[in-house]
Structure 1
Amino acid sequence: MRIFTAALATETNTFSPICIDRRDFEASLYAPPGKHPATPTLCTAPITVGRKVTAEMGWTLIEGTAAWADPAGLVNRLAYEGLRDEILDQLRAALPVDAVVLGLHGAMVADGYLDPEGDFLSRIREIVGPEVLVCAELDPHSHLTEKRVAAADFFVVFKEFPHTDFVDRAEDLWRIAVDTLEGRVKPEMAVFDCRMIDVFPTSKEPMRSFVDKLMAIEASDAEVLSLSVIHGFMAGDVPELGTKTIAVTNGQPDKAARLARELGLELYSKRGTFRVAEINEKEAVSRAMAASSRPVVIADMWDNPGGGTAGDATVVLAELMARGATNVAIGTIWDPIAVQICAAAGEGAEIPLRFGAKSAPGTGNPIDAIVQVVRVVPDAAMRFGESFAEFGPAAHIRFNGIDVILNTVRVQSYDPSLFTAMGIDPTTKDILVIKSTNHFYAAFSKIASDILYCSAGTPYPNNPATNPYRRARKDIWPMIENAHGTEAA
């Protein structure tokens, strides 16, 4: 067997002022054929898992380019078309192939392309023809369009949020692909439109039990190859916005359709109950300062670079300063210019510095302070599962009992190693402020005495009922109250 694999991924917040060009892919991950590292990034696990699987099978794996850019706004047209065509040319050169196994995100939007993944998959299908297996792993925070479903044989989606299972799901993807190629199964995929958009953290109920139910069905029914939920991505203003359920069965399309519908209606029946309780910055700081055990983690959840924001909001920091909080560490505030100023001053220098809140309205005001430059790291990185996420060049500054990490590469706060990489022991701090919606939970919950989800300012469009959509559909919850009528009762 000859299998072609590649990855092309980013997540587009269409409201973000920060646009993506090819340099952003090259800064995050650009790996030409055979150059992908041994450890996967979030959307490239099909490549590293594929190496292992094909080696065990004695098959030939032809690797195409892997490209990932950290989430932001609109993708430059030339950047998307250039990377797309690079991979398509590699696929043409690899022909004939028996399968194409891809790593995608699913929430990319490019200039001139509201559905880049649909465009990409359709072109792949045109190249390989109708008989060749085409499948992909997706991030649940994506848009599942009819065009993508028509072009692929099946999708497998991360089940967990935080996304701790992207390698496990890549293994599922390859297991189904191998069984298909060896004639043991015939995947039949069905999709159900839940007619809703919500946030589904699997670290709490009711989504925890729902995901456990999906895995229990897969384990108990041999004819069910995979069950998935596309959460949707509310910051993507696209026509097919919304939550979808996917069922993949062995040669049973009616069963797949029934399962997808039943599970989708179950999700819909629980609409509005999934999101964590959110508090504003004043309550978050009050509760953190009054806590009897430490450290307390304040998640500045909507200033999340993993959702395409800049990560430079200062609303929580300003509240901490106004309240006289000390023994606090902030990780991070994105400000490449401030990092350059700190690097020029050098470690140990005391300088006047203005930083933060430069990207957009709703992020607070820039902070002016006399700061000490504690540490400058040219290539700072934190752990994310088995891999690493870069956030440097970076600077650690200190003033009035507050430590702040300034970063150049936008990335959300995945792991406490964010702080240790800059010389800060997070376990000795009273309060930690991080920028992440929920990906932080798996690692930070191990050291936190309490976690406070803070909605501060307006850096992110987090209310679908009021977001200023121009293209997204308006016939789903919460834009309307009952999108399914009596069917969901």
Structure 2
Amino acid sequence: MRFFIAHLATETNTFAAAPTGLGDFEEIGIFHGDASRRDPEGAGAFLRYLRDLVEGEGGEVVESLCTLAQPGGRTVRHVYEALRDEILADLRAALPVDAVQLLLHGAMAAEGIDDCEGDLAAAIRAVVGPGVPIGLELDLHCHFTEQMRGAADVIVAFKEYPHIDTDARGEELYRILKDAALGKVRPVTAVFDCRMVGLWHTTREPMQGFVRRMQAVEREPGVLSVSLGHGFPWGDVPEAGAKLWVVTDNDPALAQAMARQLGREFWALRERIGASVCGIDEALDAAFESGFGAAEPKGPAVLADVADNPGGGAAGDSTFILRRLVERRVANSAVGAIWDLGAVHICKAAGVGAQLDLRIGGKCGPASGLPVDLRVTVRAIVPNHSQSALGTRERLGDCAWVEAAGGLHILLCSVRTQTYGLDAFTGAGISLVDKAIVVVKSTQHFHAEFAPIARKVLYVSTPGAMSFGFAAIPYRLRSLAYWPRVPDPHGAQQI
């Protein structure tokens, strides 16, 4: 069995001002057929996993491009087309192949191309013809499109947020593709448009239960896979939004019935599954309600700066929470990672132990707030720092740990990325379990590692780049007939 594999991904925030260019992919790494061997714990982690899986069963792997970029604005068109065309050239050179398996995002848009994944899949189909099964593994925050469905045989999305099941979904897709290539199954897909926009964490009920419900349906005869694509709220493309799809073994009626049934069940949960966010002062007040400072504190209150998540296309340098920590004289806290190349450079030049006046954050526009000026001591400089990130390693670049009055500890990074792992802080020398408050630049992926040490987790809304007022997002391309903008976007349609 000869599998052609590749990994190309970025999540496009169409409201972000800065485009995603070649340098954004280069910052994480562009690997030409060797990521699984050259960077097996980083960008190539999934392709390494898939290679081991296929070769472990006696199959052969032809590995193509592997690259990804931090979420940002639309990808520069010629950059996307060059990456696409490299995959196609590798595929032509690899023919014949028995199956094609790709790890993509599902919400990548380029200048003039709203659906990069669908465009890539259609081009691959043109190369391999109708008889070779094509499988796409997508991020949970994907936009499921008809072009994708028309070109691919099987599409599988992550079920968990944070995305702790990338490998499990990859193996699921591999099994289906292998069986399809051997003629054991014939996948067919039906989709239900939930007509919903939002952000739904699977770390609590009732979303935990809905994930279990999808998994239970997958155990029913004839059902191969069930996916819920949550959609990416800040991606303004025509087919955006939450969609549920079911893949069956050559049973379109079963696929349609189950997609409709599960879609209706998800729709019925809409009032109960949204992320609970609060303002900065409300969060700071709540953080101390649990009594930190008692004889035996139970870890920090973790505040997620959800509107300034680089993983959703934000800059990662907003200062709204930092400013309130200073103004309220909150003691014994940590904040990070704030993207500020200039501040990192100044700290590196000054050296560990230096005391200086430092201007922090607020560099990238109104959504970043105003810079905060602090007298700080440089506690550590960490060259080429990285953090654990849901089973891989994520670069933070050169980092600086600075401390301001009152035990305010700030982690500054030079590579824009969200905070995933505890070692983003601890790897730079900043302890966390003894802190009263820890602020992370993340929306949800932090939860896997930070929740176990936290006495409380709070999601904090600020005037950042990612608005959680989903009913008022200024879409131009997608239909405005969605919940919560419209109470019942399904109208008279039977759901």
1:472 aligns with 2:478: yes
Q: For the Cα contact (< 8 Å) 2:36–2:51, is it kept in 1?
A: no
Q: How does 1:369-448 map to 2 (within 5 A)?
A: 369-400=374-405, 401-448=407-454
Q: Give, in angstroms, the shift of residue 386 of structure 1.
A: 2.5
Partner of 1:282: 281
Do the aligned partners of residues 41 and 259 (structure 1) sit closer, same or farther apart at CA in structure 2, a change above 3 Å counting? farther
Q: How does 1:165-244 map to 2 (within 5 A)?
A: 165-219=165-219, 221-244=220-243
Which of 301, 307, 310 lines up with 2:306 in the alignment?
A: 301
Contact 2:336/2:419 (CA < 8 Å) preserved in 1? Answer: yes
Q: Provide the C-alpha distance between the structure 2 equivalents of 1:136 and 1:181, rounded to a whole number of angstroms.
A: 15
- 2: CA distance between counterparts of 1:353 and 1:488? 60
1:45 offset after TM fit, Å? Answer: 6.1
Residue aligning to 1:266? 265
Q: Secondary structure at the match of 2:278?
A: coil
The aligned amino acid for 1:222 is P
Q: Does 1:345 align with 2:350?
A: yes
AA matched with 1:475: A
Counterpart in the other structure of 1:134: 134
2:5 & 2:95 partners in 1: Cα distance?
A: 12
Match of 2:469 in 1: 463
Partner of 2:294: none
Determine which of 363, 372, 376 is the counterpart of 1:367.
372
Equivalent residues in 2 for 1:115-130, closer than 5 Å: 115-130=115-130
Give deviations 1:53-88, integer Å, cap 9, x for gaps. Answer: 321332221000111111112211221111111111
Question: Do 1:49 and 1:171's aligned partners in 2 also have CA atoms closer than 8 Å?
Answer: no
Query: In the aligned structure 2, how far is the partner of 1:134 from the partner of 1:422?
Result: 43
For residues 449 and 289 of structure 1, the distance between their equivalents in structure 2, rounded to whole angstroms, comes to 10
Does structure 2 retain, via aligned residues, the 8 Å contact 1:348–1:373?
A: yes
- One-letter amino acid of the structure 1 residue matched with residue 247 of structure 2: V
Which among 297, 308, 313 is matched to residue 318 of structure 2?
Answer: 313
Corresponding residue of 1:254: 253
Asked whether the equivalents of residues 11 and 72 of structure 2 are also in contact (C-alpha less than 8 Å), the reply is yes
Q: CA deviation at 1:474?
A: 1.1
Q: Quick one: distance in 1 between partners of 2:235 and 2:450? A: 28
Secondary structure of the corresponding residue to residue 358 of structure 1: coil
For residues 29-69 of structure 1, the C-alpha deviation after alignment (integer angstroms, 9 at most, x for no partner) is 32211233464668x66523331232133222100011111
Give the Cα–Cα distance (whole angstroms) in 1 for the partners of residues 347 and 163 of structure 2: 34
Say which SS state the counterpart of residue 61 (structure 2) adopts: strand
Quote how far apart the aligned CAs of 1:458 are.
3.1
Deviations 1:431-480 (A, max 9, x none): 10001111111111110011111112232132231111121211222222
Residue type of the alignment partner of 1:461: S
CA distance in 2, matches of 1:472, 1:140: 19
- Compute the TM-score of the two structures, normalised by the length of structure 1: 0.96
- What do residues 77-112 of structure 1 show as CA deviations (whole Å, max 9, x unaligned)? 221111111111111111111111101001111112
Measured against aligned partners, the alpha-carbon deviations of 1:370-394 in whole angstroms (never above 9, x if no partner) come to 2111111121111123211111211
Q: C-alpha displacement at 1:171, in angstroms? A: 0.8
Q: Where does residue 333 of structure 1 map in the other structure?
A: 338
| Cα deviation 1:270-318 (Å, max 9, x = unaligned) | 2232123211001111222443133111111121111110111111111
User: Aligned pair in 2 of structure 1 residues 40, 125: CA closer, same or farther (>3 Å)?
Assistant: farther
**What is residue 35 of structure 1 aligned with on the other side?**
35
> Distance between the aligned counterparts of 1:136 and 1:372, measured in 2?
48
Distance 1:120 1:386 in 2: 27
Deviation, 1:244, is: 0.6
1:102 aligns to what?
Answer: 102
Distance 2:34 2:88 in 1: 16
| One-letter amino acid matched to 2:479 | R
Quick one: percent identity of the two aligned structures?
A: 42
- Root mean square deviation, CA, Å: 1.6
- Three-state SS of the structure 2 residue aligned to 1:267 is helix
Q: Determine the C-alpha separation between the residues in 2 that align with 1:486 and 1:50.
A: 45
Aligned to 1:18: 18
The one-letter code matched in structure 1 to 2:432 is: P
Residues in 2 aligned to 1:168 and 1:35: alpha-carbon distance in whole angstroms: 20
Contact map agreement 2:45 2:392 (CA 8 A) in 1: no
Query: 1:373·1:398 contact (CA, 8 Å) conserved in 2?
Result: yes
CA contact (8 A) 1:45 1:167 kept: no
- Deviation by residue 1:183-236 (Cα, 9 ceiling, x = unmatched): 2211111111111112111011211110011112213x1311110000000100
Q: Cα deviations across residues 316-352 of structure 1 (Å, max 9, x unaligned)?
A: 1111111111111101111111111111111111111
Q: Figure out how many residues of one structure are paired with residues of the other and give that number.
A: 487
Give secondary structure in 2 for the equivalent of 1:31: strand
How big is each residue's C-alpha offset from its partner over 1:384-419, in whole Å with a ceiling of 9 and x where there is no partner? 232111112111111112010111111111121111
Amino acid at match of 2:138: L
- With 446-455 and 291-300 compared, the bigger mean Cα shift is at 291-300
The DSSP-based 3-state class of the residue aligned with 1:78 is helix
Quote the residue 2:77 is aligned against: 77
Normalising by structure 2, we get a TM-score of: 0.95
**Cα distance in 2 for residues equivalent to 1:99 and 1:45:** 20
Query: How far apart in 2 are the matches of 1:445 and 1:28?
Result: 27
Secondary structure of the equivalent of 2:308?
Answer: coil
Unaligned runs of 5+ in 1: none
Paired residue secondary structure (1:36): helix
1:291 aligns to what SS in structure 2? Answer: coil
Secondary structure, aligned partner of 1:265: helix
CA distance in 2, matches of 1:360, 1:289: 32
